[in-house]
Amino acid sequence: MEKESVDFEVHIHTLTDGQATKNNIVNAITTHYEPAGENDVVFFYFSGHGTQEEADPVFWPVEEDHKLESIVCYDGYTLSDGKAKFNLLADKELRYLISKVAKKGSHILTIFDCCHSGGNTRNGFVLGLGEDALERRMICRERLSQAFPARPWEDFIFSKTISFDEVKINSITQYLAEGKHIQMAACQHDESAFEVGGEGVFTKNLLEILTRSEGLVTYYDLQARIQNYLRYQFRQTPRTYVSGDDESSLFLGFLNKKGGGKPLYGNISFNQTEGWIIDFGSMHGLSHESTINVITTNSQESYVAKLQELYPTHAQLTFEKQDNDKLDQRLSYKGYSTDYLFTTLKIYIDVKDNEIKGDLVASLSSAPGKNLMITELQREADYCIEQEGKEVFVSRPEMSSVPIILPVNYTSNNSATIIRNYLQHLAQFEFVKNLQNPNPILFSRFPVEISFYQKNAIQRDEEIKIEEGAIRPRFAGKEGSISDHSIKIKLRNTSDRKLYCALLYFDFNFGVYLKLLNEVVVGIDRNTEVWAWDGAFIPLKLEEEIAGYNYKECVTTIKLMVSTSDFKQQVTRFEMPPLPGPMSRGDKGLQVSTNNYIPEIQDWITRNIDIKIKNPYHKV
């Protein structure tokens, strides 16, 4: 973006070539951003070479490949008296610097157009771009791992602040807090970023999209459109990372400008290999029978597209010839589908007041997606709407008169809309919870093993058996110890290929949380394991409603999603805040990215495990 095209005051500090030493970069981050406050935007951009260095074992719980990603400063590799000296800026050091800047509450964006690659297996493919395409990475060819050697602790910039002994006994979140920020990277940690003719393809596409949209685009849409442009042209998958548990920052506008919120649409772009593609697929409910309504940016024209090929994370589209001729291949479009993210719910309305009932029927009938169906029989319903005095609430058919969401006082004009929005939330919650691939191609068995642990009487980790699709951890109520109120979760890739995994948590009040792992989606190499919460114990909690309404048990759900390709862009859409509980809710129950080329077969699979906690206060 040109400086003149932004609508705020800009202070730029640039380091190039010999200026970009490690010390200068660290000092610039420390001093240049020092005045930034709550209403400011902090932007850090790096274009150059990336590499990996071997990680000390203390970092292994958060680095499944046992390597740190690093950027290569101007003095990153030097020779002194015939001996090599390494002076890389590691991801953990950048985390340390960002955490200091973030304390004042600035909106922080970092962009890296460099490699984070640890091997050759995925770095060689470029679509018809010849010898002009170069990788932006540095490797240590003298070492089998091609990673630079692990550094001594005193070489980290935080060694005088954080003791090595502290690191050995604590999780990374305790000794190295993560400042709130958004990071955009040109590729995954095990991929290369490419440049053509001296230009990074990631940065070039990023600038083109920002120019066309005049900077008024969310981080989510920005990532989706770049991925669409680069798909199958490079082994390079741009990723966007949001720190913390809440992915909602992904839907902010670029540089914190006004954004569009979580989209109910897909991004449609033209790709040189696949033609027109949309960035959602079977994971979002699309089928070969789905149609896509395509809207231009200014909403002046619309077109209808049909699915030509359907994949887990995207779909190829086809248009009638007269429409195809009108579409501009340089632009992006929005695509809407009634099949998107919602399941159909049957609703029984048990309301005596005819005026209120008529109001509710009219509101539900006009719901977007037309997925709320009114049934005349309570036994056929998924959810009920009941009335008690002037209050209207949602309940389950099997537990009549027990509200599952905060009742609505039916006095305002938007009361029916609030109830409808609750039900729409439930429809999306049910869709994500029950989402599965009916016909997996590559998996004859579930390829990732999931294990749960709890401390036993002698304080040793003991595996909790999964029986009939559920675990039943020990929960002793207020009288129990911490070991009676927490679990560990481990994933292990038992297949013969790298897989991408997400852990979703569905809480008692219909929230969907994505951040049990280090990132929303993590890549796990074969015969490799990763732990939720960096291997720390995850606290369990009973909601107040469990005792208040005398439930026998609290049932929440863990969903493990596994794919042969990265699907962070898709699963991010699944995050949902909880609905307001009928009582004072408290915390959530589990406190918790050549024209002859043939694309790889993509596949995905899911598994649900319920967490059933017996209510220690249940009265018979």
Q: What is the CATH number for 8?
A: 3.40.50.1460
Question: Where are the strands (E) in 517-596, listed by range?
Answer: 522-524, 529-531, 538-539, 553-563
Query: What is the distance between the alpha carbons of residues 6 and 548, in angstroms, rounded to a whole number?
Result: 53
Whose CA is closest to 59, among 92, 93, 25? 92
Judge if 350 and 484 occupy the same domain: no
> The dihedral of CA 138, 142, 143, 145: what is its sign?
positive
Residue 587 lies in a domain: yes
Q: Is 195 helix (H, G, I), strand (E, B) or coil?
A: strand
Q: Which of 256, 284, 304 is the last residue of a domain?
A: 256
Residue 261 lies in a domain: no
479-520 confidence digits (pLDDT tens): 656 667 889 999 999 999 999 999 999 999 999 998 899 888
Q: What is the CATH number for 493?
A: 2.60.40.10
Judge if 284 and 249 occupy the same domain: no
Judge if 482 and 535 occupy the same domain: yes
Asked if residues 98 and 121 have their Cβ atoms less than 8 Å apart, the reply is: no
Number of domains in the chain: 4
Judge if 245 and 287 occupy the same domain: no
Judge if 151 and 224 occupy the same domain: yes
The pLDDT, as a whole number, for residue 211 is 83
Q: Which residues of the chain have pLDDT under 50?
A: 1-5, 117-131, 133, 144, 584-589, 591-600
The pLDDT, as a whole number, for residue 590 is 53
The pLDDT, as a whole number, for residue 7 is 63
Judge if 542 and 584 occupy the same domain: yes
Q: Which of 336, 355, 371 is the last residue of a domain?
A: 336
560-574 confidence digits (pLDDT tens): 999 998 888 788 888
Q: Which of 199, 223, 256 is the last residue of a domain?
A: 256
Residue 439 lies in a domain: no
List the alpha helices (DSSP H) in 144-287.
Answer: 164-169, 172-175, 201-212, 219-230
Q: What are phi and psi of 69, to 5 degrees?
A: -85, 140
Residue 484 lies in a domain: yes
Q: In the chain, how many H helices and how many E strands?
A: 11, 34
Whose CA is closest to 591, among 528, 491, 510, 516? 516
> The dihedral of CA 593, 60, 157, 160: what is its sign?
positive
The pLDDT, as a whole number, for residue 44 is 95
Q: What is the CATH number for 394?
A: 3.40.50
CA 512 to each of CA 219, 254, 575, 592: distance values in angstroms, whole numbers, following the listed order? 21, 25, 5, 11
Asked if residues 137 and 50 have their Cβ atoms less than 8 Å apart, the reply is: yes
Judge if 290 and 372 occupy the same domain: no
Residue 442 lies in a domain: no
Residue 499 lies in a domain: yes
The domain in which residue 352 lies consists of 345-434
Residue 620 lies in a domain: no
Judge if 281 and 310 occupy the same domain: yes
Judge if 137 and 271 occupy the same domain: no
Which amino acid is located at 410 in the chain?
A: Y
Judge if 485 and 419 occupy the same domain: no
List the alpha helices (DSSP H) in 520-587.
Answer: 544-548, 568-571
Overall pTM > 0.85: no
Residue 443 lies in a domain: no
Judge if 332 and 350 occupy the same domain: no
Judge if 470 and 598 occupy the same domain: yes
Query: What is the distance between the alpha carbons of residues 544 and 548, in angstroms, rounded to a whole number?
Result: 6
